[in-house]
């Protein structure tokens, strides 16, 4: 019987290996930019065409390569950084495993021109399908100019998995930003289809952050800086007012390498506790420097996930550094032992404590509870008259509104002519024939709006109200690319937005049922929610927008409602096809039946 196990041909093996490293044009951008940084370049230019599918080109003024190195660089595991296994744990450069160029050459047509400063002529190498087609001397500036053309030309199935140009360009911009923010002393530019998207002059770290994230951050950054024998932490966190409802501008760098770490992200979030809303996320750009031996960066093909020797120490340092920064800049809350004028004028402060008042206080059961021994957990049974009439809490002073019977397949019936009660400005209590229901106003409204927007967006179109004074919206490059891609779907949900050049847009109209005046913030929030939309199900762009829109426009917990508003909300909820839950599955209300209530009281 013949042997059946065979070695794969080199070109196929390379293509399979390339799948780990080069998943899309953005992956190649990351690797090529990092190589340029490692080459000691002070100027790095990135040019892309057709969102990187047709061309990704990186031009640097680094040290360049000799003719032999120019060819050897495309061999698998060819690297100048590793000589022995221990070198893996002393890595201070970006690329080191010798996979990137070989992977790119396996799935694209590659041309490279490179010259060292001391050489008169450079080298030109052309590679396709992992094979060197041409190598010859050429005249070229010192440094390296590498072009990756027609990505996945030899793997059509992989090319078909690429997203729209706008989506792929967004990934390219993300990778570009991550490298550019790590090296503010290097000039970077990004040009897409002949139009310059970024032009980042060398400068300080703060200047680079503002260049990338936008001018609004200029006055809203708090400096983080802590130095210890074990590690250094520096960078900036956004002031609490910059916090967003979605994970926005959050960047961690370890030894100048961008990383993703939910663990360290949690450390920053806890440092902001009490300063921002629980459902908000702070912005930050934090750099950590520590001995490379304390970090394993070889645990993931993209090197964006790393392993620390001691995670708990890093967590504690990051949390402490951010807390210290916030406290130093008088952002963290502090105790104020001086009484302001209003408090000083209160009777309790300004007037003396009379003998009668003292006797009354000493004779109270509350005083005895705190002063007698073993009284900490004692609750007095008698003298119930001291308790306030608790029923008053439940009586709604407003005049009741006559409520029609609300039915939903005869299951929930609200008793007519009974007032509705709003609890903590979040929940609505409504009496039913069999008990009562507790409605969460925000989740209920989200279900109502989802049904309304979904019907309109997927069947016809939500009406648009034209703005009397159109608003101009300026966005970071990545967000502008996303918004450009979303314009047709935004139109279906009632927004009329037009490109205005240079990452700017004009909002000409908004959905008819939205109150004008906050359209700029609404679009920005919609983009943020869309970017960080999480679901196990793959939804269309339009469906995602409808869900984001319903979440954004829903009345919030904590908002006071009138009887009329509560009644309308409950009516509209039970007119929905699925009133029980939001589109994401959260319950909109809970039902408390009379027999259940009786059992709770032992009846």
Three-state SS string over 358-415 comes to HHHHHHCHHHHHHHCCCCCCCCCCCCHHHCCCHHHHHCCCCCCCCCCCCCCCCCCCEC
Are residues 55 and 73 located together in one domain of the fold?
yes
Closest CA relative to residue 509, chosen from 499, 523, 495: 495
Of 328, 356, 374, which residue is a domain's last? 328
The more confident residue out of 587 and 596 is 587
Lookup result for tokens 């409808």: 546
Name the H helices within 255-344. Answer: 262-271, 311-328, 341-344
For residue 450, the surrounding DSSP H or E stretch is: helix 441-459
Q: What is the DSSP secondary structure assignment for residue 467, as one 8-state letter?
A: E
Domain boundary among 200, 229, 261: 200
> Going by DSSP bridges, is the β-strand pair 221-227/257-259 parallel, antiparallel, or unpaired?
unpaired
Mind listing the pLDDT tens digit for each residue in 316-332? 889 999 999 888 775 54
DSSP lists the bridge partners of residue 111 as 126, 147
The reply to whether 401 falls in a domain is yes
Q: 143: phi > 0 → left, psi -120 to 50 → alpha, else beta; which?
A: left
Q: Are 512 and 490 contained in the same domain?
A: yes
CB 318, CB 307: distance < 8 Å: no
Residues 348-405 pLDDT 10s? 544 555 666 556 655 555 555 555 555 544 545 444 444 444 444 444 444 444 344 4
On whether both 150 and 15 belong to a single domain, the answer is yes
192 and 224, same structural domain?
no
For residues 162 and 252, membership in a common domain is answered with no
Q: Are 211 and 278 part of one and the same domain?
A: yes
> Which of 143-147, 292-296, 463-467, 588-592 is predicted most confidently?
143-147
Distances (CA, A) of 444 to 410, 472, 557: 19, 33, 11
Residue 10: pLDDT above 80? no
- The per-residue pLDDT for 488 is 87
Condensed to tens digits (0 to 9), the pLDDT of residues 229-285 reads 888 999 999 988 888 776 768 899 988 889 888 888 889 988 988 888 877 888 899
Is residue 481 one of the residues assigned to a domain?
Answer: yes
Element (H, E) at 523: helix 519-531
- Residues 221, 134: one domain? no
445 torsion bin: left (phi>0), alpha (psi -120 to 50), beta (else): alpha
pLDDT band with cut points at 50, 70 and 90 for residue 408: low
Q: Which of 132, 165, 200 is the last residue of a domain?
A: 200
DSSP reduced 3-state for 144: strand
Query: Does a structural domain hold residue 383?
Result: no
Give the chain's domain count: 3
Residue 382 lies in a domain: no
The whole-angstrom separation of Cα 323 and Cα 318 is: 9
Q: Phi/psi at 234 (nearest 5 deg)?
A: -150, 170
User: What is the model's pLDDT at position 189?
Assistant: 96
> Strands 195-200 and 187-192, how do they pair?
antiparallel
CB 329 within 8 A of CB 350: no
The residue to which tokens 């210890």 are assigned = 228
Strand partners, 190: 46, 198
| 444 lies in the same domain as 413 | yes
Is 522 a member of any domain? yes
Is residue 1 predicted with pLDDT exceeding 70? no
CATH number at residue 48: 3.30.565.10
Neighbours of 553 (CB within 10 A): 18
Same-domain check for residues 490 and 576:
yes
Please name every residue paired with 227 in a beta bridge, in sequence order, or none if there are none: 232
Q: Which residues contact 275 (CB under 8 A, 6 or more apart)?
A: 240, 326, 331, 332, 333
pLDDT in the model for residue 112: 94
Q: Report d(CA 31, CA 43) in Å as an integer.
A: 16
Confidence of residue 335 (pLDDT cuts 50, 70, 90): very low
pLDDT, residue 402, reads 39
As a whole number, mean pLDDT of residues 18-24 equals 71
Q: What is the DSSP string of 66-117?
A: -HHHHHHTTSTT--SS-SSGGGGGG--SS--SS-HHHHHHHHSEEEEEEE-T
Report DSSP state, residue 340. Answer: P
Q: Is residue 369 part of a domain?
A: no
Is the same domain home to 209 and 96? no
| Rounded Cα distance, 353 and 337, in Å | 21
Q: Per the domain annotation, does 3 fall within a domain?
A: no
* pLDDT value for 541: 82
User: Using CB atoms within 10 A of its CB, is residue 565 exposed (0-12), middle (13-18) or buried (19+)?
Assistant: middle
In this structure, the answer to whether residues 177 and 247 fall within a common structural domain is no
Query: Does the pLDDT value for residue 337 go beyond 50?
Result: no
Instruction: Give 292's Cβ-side CA count (13 Å radius).
Output: 14
Structure tokens at 384: 């119930």
Instruction: Report the chain's terminal Cα–Cα distance, integer Å.
Output: 81
**∠ Cα 188 24 126 (to 5°):** 75
CATH number where 545 lies: 3.30.1370.100
Task: State which residues form the domain around 569.
Answer: 394-603
C-alpha closest to that of 118 among 42, 64, 39: 64
- Domain at 321, CATH number: 3.30.230.10
Kindly report the length of the chain: 603
Tell me if 500 is assigned to some domain. yes
The mean pLDDT value of the chain amounts to 79
Q: Does 410 lie in the same domain as 311?
A: no
Distance between CA atoms of residues 331 and 259, nearest Å: 27
Rounded CA-CA distance 383/440 in Å is: 37
Place of tokens 């960047």: 251
3 state SS of 159: helix
Q: What pTM, to 2 d.p., does this model score?
A: 0.66
The pair of structure tokens assigned to 57 is 């080109």
pLDDT, tens digit, 9 for 90 and up, residues 169-210: 989 999 999 999 999 999 999 999 998 889 999 999 999 999
Residues 516, 178: Cα–Cα separation, whole Å: 36
pLDDT tens per residue, range 517-572: 788 888 888 888 888 777 667 778 888 888 888 888 899 888 999 999 999 999 89
């Amino acid at each position: 019987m013949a042997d059946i196990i065979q070695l794969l041909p080199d070109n196929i093996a390379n293509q399979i290996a390339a799948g780990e490293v080069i998943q899309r044009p953005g992956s190649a951008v990351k690797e090529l930019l990092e190589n340029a940084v490692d080459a000691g370049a002070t100027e790095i230019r990135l040019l892309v065409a057709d969102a990187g599918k047709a061309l990704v080109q990186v031009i640097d003024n680094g040290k360049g390569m000799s003719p032999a190195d120019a060819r050897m660089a495309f061999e698998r595991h060819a690297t100048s950084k590793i000589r022995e296994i221990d070198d893996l744990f002393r890595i201070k450069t970006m690329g080191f495993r010798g996979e990137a160029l070989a992977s790119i050459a396996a799935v694209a047509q590659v041309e490279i021109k490179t010259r060292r400063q001391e050489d008169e002529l450079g080298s030109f190498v052309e590679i396709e399908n992992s094979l060197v087609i041409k190598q010859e001397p050429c005249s070229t500036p010192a440094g390296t100019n590498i072009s990756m053309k027609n990505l996945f030309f030899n793997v059509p199935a992989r090319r078909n998995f690429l997203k729209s140009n706008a989506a792929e360009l967004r990934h390219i911009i993300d990778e570009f930003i991550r490298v550019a923010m790590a090296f503010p002393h290097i000039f970077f530019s990004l040009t897409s289809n002949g139009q310059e998207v970024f032009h980042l002059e060398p400068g300080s770290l703060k200047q680079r952050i503002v260049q990338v994230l936008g001018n609004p951050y200029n006055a809203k950054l708090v400096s983080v800086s802590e130095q210890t024998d074990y590690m250094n932490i520096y960078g900036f966190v956004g002031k609490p007012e910059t916090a967003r409802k979605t994970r926005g501008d959050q960047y961690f760098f370890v030894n100048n390498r961008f990383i993703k770490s939910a663990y360290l992200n949690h450390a920053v979030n806890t440092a902001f506790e009490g300063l921002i809303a629980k459902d908000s996320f702070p912005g930050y750009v934090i750099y950590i420097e520590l001995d490379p031996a304390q970090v394993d960066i070889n645990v993931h093909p993209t090197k964006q996930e790393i392993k620390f020797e001691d995670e708990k120490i890093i967590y504690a340092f990051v949390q402490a550094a951010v807390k210290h920064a916030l406290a130093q800049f008088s952002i963290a809350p502090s105790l104020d032992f001086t009484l302001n004028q209003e408090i000083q004028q209160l009777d309790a402060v300004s007037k003396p404590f009379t003998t009668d008042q003292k006797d009354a206080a000493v004779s109270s059961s509350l005083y005895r509870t705190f002063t007698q021994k073993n009284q900490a957990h004692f609750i007095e049974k008698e003298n119930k008259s001291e308790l306030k009439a608790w029923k008053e809490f439940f009586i709604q002073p407003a005049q009741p509104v006559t409520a029609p019977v609300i039915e939903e397949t005869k299951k929930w019936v609200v008793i007519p002519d009974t007032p509705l009660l709003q609890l903590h400005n979040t929940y609505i209590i409504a009496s039913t024939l069999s008990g009562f229901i507790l409605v969460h106003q925000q989740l209920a409204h989200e279900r109502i709006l989802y049904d309304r927007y979904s019907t309109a967006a997927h069947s016809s179109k939500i009406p648009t109200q034209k703005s009397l004074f159109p608003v101009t919206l300026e966005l970071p490059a990545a967000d502008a690319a996303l918004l450009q891609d979303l314009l047709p779907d935004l139109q279906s949900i009632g927004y009329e937005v037009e490109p205005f050049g240079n990452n700017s847009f004009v909002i000409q109209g908004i959905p008819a049922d939205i109150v004008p005046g906050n359209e700029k913030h609404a679009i920005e929030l919609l983009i943020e929610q869309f970017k960080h939309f999480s679901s196990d199900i793959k939804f269309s762009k339009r469906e995602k927008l409808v869900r984001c829109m319903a979440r954004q426009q829903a009345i919030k917990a904590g908002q006071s409602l009138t009887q009329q508003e509560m009644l309308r909300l409950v009516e509209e909820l039970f007119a929905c096809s699925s009133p029980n839950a939001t589109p994401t599955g959260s319950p909109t209300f809970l039902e408390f039946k009379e027999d259940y209530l009786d059992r709770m009281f032992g009846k």
